[in-house]
Structure 1
Amino acid sequence: MGLSQLIERHRQEVLTRWKEMVRTLSDARHLSEERLVNHVPDLLDWLVARLRDRDAADVHGSQMLSRVHAFQRVGDDFDLVEVLMELAVLRDVLLGLWAEQPGEVSPAEVIQLNRDLDDVVAVCTTEFARQILARHGAPREATQAMGP
């Protein structure tokens, strides 16, 4: 069984573990279940698709999910550290699942998962910073200079 199948088979368990751990963050405690979970199921689906066939899973899909998540968390008055902690918790849960059941998972799949999550973190961080700058009146040119 590869990493994509492992994640798929334990999807609900991953979400449950992630929610429990993220609920310990101060800003996440007040969120409804729907607001908390937000785009994580879609992100898991994207990661699974990406692990199965790197070319089939559009990188723009994860960028959109990351941007929407960052935008929502700015609206929820999270700080950047807590947004990044949410993603770190997801990585920890996924790597923990692999450590518990390494089976047929190749090191290349784990490396790919980490790279894809790093890309999500980079996009989410950039968008979060962009939203905060815009909220505080930074000129559009300043936020556009941060990249795509």
Structure 2
Amino acid sequence: MLSGLQRPLVFLDAHWGPDWPLAGELTALRTGAAVAVIDDFQIGHPRFGYDTYDGQVCGPQLVTEVLPDLERMFVGNIEADYPLPCLQTGRRSGTGIIAFGLDGGHSPLTGHPWFVEVPLRPHPVLPPWISAGVSQ
């Protein structure tokens, strides 16, 4: 489906029902150059929800299991000064971002104020959010 595209952006939000396709989707994407955005992702902040399926959290630990060679990923920086307001009301959800095969190992997300790098090896390390104790 992605053939012919140089750097597709793939939004992964099929998190319901008995068949959870996320592991297969990530496995399929890992051989190309793409940016995967995973919705309902655990980012380590109590104000931002995430999904769990059959005891498996939609978060960095799942990514390390599915993509054992991946060294890092990113999450949306909830403390960034975005140019547009957040339109999510009630439950907000975290977002995980993986840049596959881009820029010879240097991701365009590195150093960008809207993203926070999450090292995955030797184990995932989520950001220590400054606002974790503050109601947002």
Between Structure 1 and Structure 2, which shows a larger proportion of strand residues?
A: 2
Calculate the TM-score normalised by the size of structure 1: 0.28
Higher helix share: 1
What TM-score comes out, normalization by structure 2 length? Answer: 0.30
